[in-house]
Structures are given as structure tokens and as C-alpha cells.
């Protein structure tokens, strides 16, 4: 499978080389965790290879992105940007027009001050209009140079969903948009934050992988991390790795480990499953201990079992529940075999 | 009761005390990226090995990508017929939208074109739960199928049903599968601790996949949440996804 570099060497290492080409991915994380920078770095990498790239912004006006990125010394002037930040809503009973082609695609280099809302009519952004604009831009590119876009960033789906769409068809519209990106054969990053813990948002369902940025406070300092949560069709580094925002953008250390203690443990938000597994491990350990007592009375040696169960408790203490459970089950099976053999031998 | 159907995963057969009771619908639930598609592929490959007729219906991932992913994983899925029930790009212009037609045919993974199927310019194919059910009915009547995978019910509910009909349409679809005398695995994307979708209540059994982080990485677990008409193990077992081998469940001791 073709592999596409993200522009961040450490992240490429975690992905076993890079993203699988021509598929859409989700980038998620709390505010200020570096999602926009990651997106920009991904596009910059494309530019460096002479690719045609496309940025769709809904969160930040292009002039601000340009300013923010200049701190990294990046020249992003060649990146095509679609300014889909919504206009000030005209709170009159005037017709709000659906953008169509009056939205604005331009090279980053041509971005000046913030675009002023029109006095008469304000533009409404919809997923449909964004798709139409991208399609138009792709056609133009094809016509003028015979080339195709290879990388697209949408920043962010959260805004597109919150501000610009109404009605029950949202999942269908988003699925269709991602299908459109896949058929354009671009590698796409969709920046998004889950809207609920209870159900899965469409882009998370349809995307072929998920990159998650983490941010937490430890010893009065902001810490950052990055993880690949899933990645279809390829092996990946399953650990959370430390990350920093430095002079060159995001820097990922693909070797060091992030300690899942205290604040980090809370930040990754997985208490629900833990509780259940903890209960079950404790139950098995309890059973095994009771059976060991019985075995002792019967003169059955339990050395192996007690080694396994002690190891299990040790892993349990370190919150490595998978290992703890595996060892507890092993102890249980070992002891049951011994006891069964004892029974077969008779009194 | 007829003999149980092996799942293709020894540890899971152990948990299910032999396998699935045939001709009934079951749910494979779990968060995205927990291994549902891999589990289902193993189920179908086991069917092929036993000389059964199998069918993979994909609603989420384009079939060419599933094939590439499984090939990278070390499996030859070329012989599994796949029905591409992913919708075309929706049209906003007043051009005709066609429902997925009953002319549609499954294609073996091995005969798919290398790249994604492109939506035609003028007529977009839309998949609804009704059109899919009709199509499956035609396919089943032409040639009986033993094992079916519907991947996923979540996509079917999100993209192919109207909100108001979600409950009844799901119920009738699962009823249709039971009456068609197939053993079916339906996948459902459920975040850990999230709300359970209607299909989990109607299905005769639910295999759930879990993922939990510790400081050595992502750890995976598997449990049987329910299994009507059969005894089963009810512990959450640790499992791993091993390239080429698939889902490996640690059930303890020598059986591992």
C-alpha cells in the first residue's frame, strides 16, 4: 500500500512510515492541543514534494492562520485555502444565501486582512457548498495543469456540524462528503472533536484511522502527547508518545514513554471499562486464593499457582490489567489441573 | 438443537461453549478499531474452509480497502464474495437518485478493481435498508448462503434509515435474516460505556470487543454479553490481534 508522510518524522515512525494514501483520517484532541498545526505540517510536507494541497478552514480566518504559522518560519503561501468561516449573521429576516461559488478559494500568499461580511447578504456555509467548492477547485486545477489534489485538510468538522448544518441528514451528508474525498483519491485529515461520549460521530465511524492529541497539566506544566488510536490495514505504535510544539512545529518523540499516572490517567478518560475489569480480576484472584487454601489441606503443591497469582497481583498494582487478568486465569487453570489430578489419584 | 457452528477463532468457540447456534443473528459490538471486521472475516474464512456459502456485505469501508487491509494482515480473502453496499456520493442537484438495484451482484474480493469505485456522474446509487433487504432476498433465493456478515449495522442505521423508522426497520431486517435461514454476524460501533443500539436487544447473542490503555499500549479484551439458548463464559478475557493469525484469546493455562 502507498504510504504518505505526515511531515512529522516521529508520527511517521508511529504509523510505520506514514498514512495509507487516498484515505480519510480523523485528528482529534482538546482545544490548543496542536490539531491545526498538525494539519498545516501535513500540507507543508505535500508542498515540499511538489504536490497540490487544499486547506478548508471553518474555525480560524485565513489571515490568523497565516500569522500563527509564521512563528514556525513556514512559508505557506502556496497552499490553497478555502475560507469557509461563516459571515456575521444578519439578524434580519433577509434571505441568507447558500454560498455556492461565492466562497473564497485563494492561495495563502494572497490572503490579506480578515474578510468582511457583506452588508447586504451574508454567506451561509454548508457541507454541500464546501464540497462544491472543492470540486470546482479540483476541476480548475485539472484544467490548468492536468494535476490533482493529493492532500486535503478540513479544520474542523466540529464547526461544520455545529454552525452550518441543520436537519436529520447530518450523518448522510458527512458520509457522502468523506466518500467524495475518497473518490477524489486525496489523503485527507478531518479535524474533529467528538460531540458525545454516548455515540460515535459519523467522521469517526467512516475515517480509516484516528490520531489523538493529548494535553494535561503535571507539576504546573502543560504536557503534550500523541497517539494513534486506530489505523486500518497497518500495524502501528500503540503507545502514547510525548510531543512538543517547538520551533519547527510538532515534534514527536517516538521512543520515550508517557506515564499513565495521575492527571494523564484522568485525561484519557477510560474509567468505565476499568471498573468492570478490576472487579473481575479481583473475583478470580479471590477464587484462586480460596482454592489454594483447600489444595494445601489436601497436600497438593501450589508453588506454580502462587507464583502466577503473585505476578498477577503485581501487574494489577501497576494497573496493567490485561497482564493481570491473563496471569490470574493462568493461575486458575494451573490449580484446577492440579486439583483434578489429585481427585483422579483417589484418597 | 442443531450442532453449533465454529467461529474460526478457537478461544471464542471456548467462550461460546462450542460456537454459534446456527441460523440466528448475532452482534459483534465494540468501539471503532477494536477488531470487529477481523473477527467477522475469520468467521467467513472458517465457512469457506468448511465448504459453506458465505457473503460479506460492507456498508462502511469500500471493498477494495478491506481487501488491501486483509492482504496486509497476511490473509488471502480472494474467495470471499463481497457485496458493495456503500452509497455513492449524494447528489444535491435534482438528478435522479437510484436505489441500489436488485441487479447488483457480489464480487469475490479477488476480482475487485484496484482502486475505489467511482460514483457515476448522473445517477447516484443510494442504499436504503429496504433496497438492501430486497437485494439480499434476491441473492438468497438464487443461491442459499450459510454465513453472512453485515458490516456495519451502525452505518446501516446512520446512512440508510430515517430516524423515525430506526427501531422497526432494524427489527424487521433482523427478522428477515432469521427467516432467510442464515447465520449472521452484524457489527455495531459502540463506544465503551456508550448507549446500546436496538440491534443488540434483538440479536440472539452479543460478542463485545473492548480496548483499554495501560502504560504498555492498547490492550484488548473480549466478552460474551449475552447468548440466548446456550451456556457461555462470562469473564472479560484478554485478547490480542496477531497478524496472519487473527484474534488470539487468552483463556488461561494450556488452552492458550
pLDDT digits (tens, 9 = 90+) for A59-85: 888 888 888 888 888 888 889 998 887
Question: Per residue in B18-33, pLDDT tens?
Answer: 999 999 999 999 999 8
Q: Is the pLDDT of residue A271 over 70?
A: no
What residues make up the domain containing B84? Answer: 10-255
Mean pLDDT of A285-291: 93
Determine contact: A341 vs chain B, CB below 8 A. no
Mean pLDDT of B46-60: 96
Q: Please give the Cα distance from A23 to A87 (Å, whole number).
A: 31
Q: Please give the Cα distance from B138 to B132 (Å, whole number).
A: 10
Using the beta-carbon criterion (under 8 Å), do A325 and B256 form an inter-chain contact? no
> Residue A288's pLDDT band (boundaries 50, 70, 90)?
very high
β A52-57/A221-231 pair status: unpaired
Which of A205, A209, A284 has the CB atom closest to B155's CB atom?
A: A205
Residue B88's pLDDT is what?
84
Backbone phi, then psi, for A248, in 5-degree steps? -100, 15
Residue A220's pLDDT is what?
84
Query: Which CATH number is A109's domain given?
Result: 3.40.50.300
Query: Is the domain of A245 the same as that of A283?
Result: no
Which residues of chain B are within 8 Å of residue A332 when distances are taken between CB atoms? 252-253
Q: Take residue B143 and report the three cell numbers written for it.
A: 443461491
Query: Is the domain of A318 the same as that of A169?
Result: no
Determine contact: A273 vs chain B, CB below 8 A. yes
Secondary structure of chain B: what % helix, strand, coil (to 5)?
30, 25, 40
Structural domain contains residue A89: yes
Residue A75's pLDDT is what?
82
Query: Is the domain of A240 the same as that of A301?
Result: no
Q: Please give the Cα distance from B92 to A268 (Å, whole number).
A: 40
Q: What region, left, alpha or beta, does residue A156 occupy, with left being phi > 0 and alpha being psi -120 to 50 degrees? A: beta
Residue A118's pLDDT is what?
56
Backbone phi, then psi, for B226, in 5-degree steps? -160, 155
- Final residue before a domain boundary, out of A186, A220, A252: A252
Cα-based angle A13, A18, A20 (whole degrees, multiple of 5): 150
- Max distance between CA atoms of chain A, in angstroms, equals 98
Compute CA B221 distance to the chain's CA centroid, rounded to the nearest angstrom.
19
Mean pLDDT of A297-312: 92
> Residue A132's pLDDT band (boundaries 50, 70, 90)?
confident
Q: Take residue B225 and report the three cell numbers written for it.
A: 454479553
- Quote the number of domains for chain B: 1
Structural domain contains residue B97: yes
Q: Is the pLDDT of residue B71 over 80?
A: yes
Task: Tell me if residue A67 falls in helix, strand or coil.
Answer: helix
- Final residue before a domain boundary, out of A252, A285, A312: A252
What secondary structure does DSSP assign to A226-293, as a single string? EEEEEETTS----S-EEEEEETTEEEE-SSS-----HHHHHHH--HHHHHHHHHHHHHHHHHHHHHHH
Mean pLDDT of A95-114: 61
The mean predicted confidence, pLDDT, of chain B is: 89
> H or E stretch including A157?
helix A157-164
Cα-based angle B212, B214, B220 (whole degrees, multiple of 5): 35
Structural domain contains residue B2: no
- In chain B, DSSP finds a helix count (H) and a strand count (E) of 7, 12
Query: Which residue is associated with the grid cell 476499568?
Result: A274
Residue A163's pLDDT is what?
66
Say which DSSP state B248 is in. E
Q: Please give the Cα distance from A205 to A180 (Å, whole number).
A: 16
Structural domain contains residue A144: yes
Mean pLDDT of B178-195: 91
What residues make up the domain containing A330? Answer: 273-339
Smallest Cα distance from B256 to chain A, Å: 9
Cβ–Cβ < 8 Å for B145, B55: yes
**Count of beta carbons in the 10 Å neighbourhood of residue A161:** 20
ipTM: 0.87
Structural domain contains residue B3: no
Structural domain contains residue B5: no
Query: Is the domain of A187 the same as that of A96?
Result: yes
Query: Is the domain of A140 the same as that of A31?
Result: yes
Closest by CA position to B58, among listed A157, A179, A235, A1: A179
Using the beta-carbon criterion (under 8 Å), do A185 and B115 form an inter-chain contact? yes
Cβ–Cβ < 8 Å for A97, A126: no
Percent of chain A scoring above 70 in pLDDT: 87
Residue A266's pLDDT is what?
65
> H or E stretch including A3?
strand A3-4
Q: Is the pLDDT of residue A204 over 90?
A: yes
Question: Per residue in B119-155, pLDDT tens?
Answer: 887 777 788 898 899 999 999 999 999 999 999 999 9
Query: Is the domain of A283 the same as that of A239?
Result: no
Residue A97's pLDDT is what?
43
Query: Is the domain of A148 the same as that of A200?
Result: yes
Mean pLDDT of B107-111: 91
Interface of A with B in 75-104 (CB under 8 A): none
> Residue A89's pLDDT band (boundaries 50, 70, 90)?
low
Respond yes or no on whether the N-terminal peptide bond of residue A156 is cis (omega within 30° of 0). Answer: yes
- In chain A, DSSP finds a helix count (H) and a strand count (E) of 11, 14
Smallest Cα distance from A300 to chain B, Å: 18
Query: Is the domain of A170 the same as that of A319?
Result: no
Which residues of chain B are within 8 Å of residue A270 when distances are taken between CB atoms? 192, 212-213
Q: Please give the Cα distance from B123 to B135 (Å, whole number).
A: 19
Residue A168's pLDDT is what?
56
Residue B103's pLDDT is what?
64
Query: Which residue is associated with the grid cell 479535524?
Result: A191
Task: Tell me if residue A126 falls in helix, strand or coil.
Answer: coil
Query: Which residue is associated with the grid cell 454479553?
Result: B225
Cβ-based burial of B185 (10 A; exposed 0-12, middle 13-18, buried ≥19): buried
Q: Is the pLDDT of residue A161 over 90?
A: no
Residue A263's pLDDT is what?
72
Query: Is the domain of A82 the same as that of A227?
Result: yes
- Quote the number of domains for chain A: 2
Smallest Cα distance from B101 to chain A, Å: 19
Closest by CA position to A19, among listed A176, A178, A208: A208
Backbone phi, then psi, for B110, in 5-degree steps? -65, -15
Using the beta-carbon criterion (under 8 Å), do B254 and A208 form an inter-chain contact? no
Structural domain contains residue B229: yes
Q: Is the pLDDT of residue A102 over 80?
A: no
Q: Please give the Cα distance from B60 to A205 (Å, whole number).
A: 8
Structural domain contains residue B217: yes
Structural domain contains residue B220: yes
The mean predicted confidence, pLDDT, of chain A is: 86
Smallest Cα distance from B136 to chain A, Å: 22
- Final residue before a domain boundary, out of A202, A223, A252: A252
Q: Please give the Cα distance from A162 to A4 (Å, whole number).
A: 30
Query: Which CATH number is B60's domain given?
Result: 3.40.50.300
Query: Is the domain of A98 the same as that of A241?
Result: yes
Three-state SS string over A68-93 comes to HHHCCCCCCCCCEEEECCCCCCCCCC
Residue A103's pLDDT is what?
58
Residue B234's pLDDT is what?
87
Question: Per residue in A117-128, pLDDT tens?
Answer: 654 455 567 788
Query: Which residue is associated with the grid cell 467512516?
Result: A206
Cβ–Cβ < 8 Å for A163, A201: no
Residue A248's pLDDT is what?
87
Picking from B85, B92, B254 by the largest number of A CB atoms within 10 A of its own CB, the best residue to mutate is B92
Structural domain contains residue A344: no
Amino acid at each position: 500500500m502507498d504510504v504518505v508522510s505526515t511531515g512529522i518524522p516521529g508520527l511517521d515512525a508511529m504509523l510505520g512510515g506514514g498514512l495509507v494514501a487516498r484515505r480519510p483520517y480523523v485528528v482529534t484532541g482538546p482545544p490548543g492541543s496542536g490539531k491545526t498545526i498538525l494539519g498545516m505540517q501535513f500540507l507543508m510536507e505535500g508542498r515540499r514534494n511538489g504536490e497540490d494541497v487544499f486547506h478548508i478552514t471553518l474555525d480560524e480566518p485565513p489571515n490568523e492562520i497565516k500569522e500563527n504559522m509564521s512563528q514556525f518560519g513556514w512559508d505557506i503561501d502556496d497552499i490553497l485555502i478555502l475560507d469557509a468561516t461563516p459571515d456575521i449573521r444578519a439578524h434580519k429576516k433577509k434571505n441568507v444565501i447558500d454560498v455556492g461559488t461565492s466562497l473564497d478559494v485563494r492561495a495563502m500568499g494572497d490572503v490579506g486582512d480578515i474578510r468582511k461580511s457583506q452588508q447586504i447578504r451574508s454567506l451561509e456555509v454548508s457541507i454541500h457548498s464546501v464540497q462544491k467548492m472543492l470540486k470546482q477547485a479540483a476541476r480548475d486545477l485539472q484544467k490548468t495543469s492536468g494535476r490533482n489534489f493529493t492532500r486535503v485538510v478540513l479544520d474542523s468538522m466540529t464547526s461544520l456540524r455545529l454552525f452550518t448544518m441543520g436537519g436529520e441528514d447530518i450523518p448522510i451528508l458527512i458520509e457522502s462528503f468523506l466518500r467524495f474525498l475518497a473518490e477524489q483519491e486525496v489523503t485527507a485529515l478531518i479535524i474533529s472533536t467528538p460531540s458525545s461520549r454516548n455515540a460515535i460521530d459519523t467522521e469517526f465511524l467512516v475515517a480509516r484511522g484516528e490520531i489523538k492529541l493529548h494535553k494535561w497539566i503535571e507539576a504546573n506544566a502543560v504536557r503534550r502527547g500523541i497517539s494513534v488510536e486506530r489505523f486500518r490495514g497497518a500495524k502501528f505504535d500503540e503507545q502514547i508518545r510525548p510531543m512538543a510544539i517547538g520551533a519547527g512545529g510538532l515534534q514527536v518523540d517516538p521512543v520515550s514513554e508517557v506515564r499513565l499516572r495521575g492527571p494523564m490517567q484522568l485525561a484519557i478518560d477510560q474509567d468505565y471499562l476499568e471498573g468492570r475489569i478490576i472487579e473481575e480480576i479481583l473475583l478470580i484472584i479471590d477464587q484462586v486464593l480460596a482454592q489454594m487454601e483447600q489444595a494445601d489441606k489436601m497436600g497438593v503443591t501450589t508453588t506454580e499457582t502462587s507464583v502466577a497469582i503473585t505476578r498477577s497481583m503485581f501487574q494489577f498494582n501497576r494497573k496493567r490489567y490485561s497482564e493481570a487478568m491473563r496471569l490470574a486465569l493462568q493461575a486458575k487453570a494451573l490449580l484446577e489441573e492440579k486439583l483434578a489430578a489429585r481427585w483422579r489419584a483417589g484418597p | 438443537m442443531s450442532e453449533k457452528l465454529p467461529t474460526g477463532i478457537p478461544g471464542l468457540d471456548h467462550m461460546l461453549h462450542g460456537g454459534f447456534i446456527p441460523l440466528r443473528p448475532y452482534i459483534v459490538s465494540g468501539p471503532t478499531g477494536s477488531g470487529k471486521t477481523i473477527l467477522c472475516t475469520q468467521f467467513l474464512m472458517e465457512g469457506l474452509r468448511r465448504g459453506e456459502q458465505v457473503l460479506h456485505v460492507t456498508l462502511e469501508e469500500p471493498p477494495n480497502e478491506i481487501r488491501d487491509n486483509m492482504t496486509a494482515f497476511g490473509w488471502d480473502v480472494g474467495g470471499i464474495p463481497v457485496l458493495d453496499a456503500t452509497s455513492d456520493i449524494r447528489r444535491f442537484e435534482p438528478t435522479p437518485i437510484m436505489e441500489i438495484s436488485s441487479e447488483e451482484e457480489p464480487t469475490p474480493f479477488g476480482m475487485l478493481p484496484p482502486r475505489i469505485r467511482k460514483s457515476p456522474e448522473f445517477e447516484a446509487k443510494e442504499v436504503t435498508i429496504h433496497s438492501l433487504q430486497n437485494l439480499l432476498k434476491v441473492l438468497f433465493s438464487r443461491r442459499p448462503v450459510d454465513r453472512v456478515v453485515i458490516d456495519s449495522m451502525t452505518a446501516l442505521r446512520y446512512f440508510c434509515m430515517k430516524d423515525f423508522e430506526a427501531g422497526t426497520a432494524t427489527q424487521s431486517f433482523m427478522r428477515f435474516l432469521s427467516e432467510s435461514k442464515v447465520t449472521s454476524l452484524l457489527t455495531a460501533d459502540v463506544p465503551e460505556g456508550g448507549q446500546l443500539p436496538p440491534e443488540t436487544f434483538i440479536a440472539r447473542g452479543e460478542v463485545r470487543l473492548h480496548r483499554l490503555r495501560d502504560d504498555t499500549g492498547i490492550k484488548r479484551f473480549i466478552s460474551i454479553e449475552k447468548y440466548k439458548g446456550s451456556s457461555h463464559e462470562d469473564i472479560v478475557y484478554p485478547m490480542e490481534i496477531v497478524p496472519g493469525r487473527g484474534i488470539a484469546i487468552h483463556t488461561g493455562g494450556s488452552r492458550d
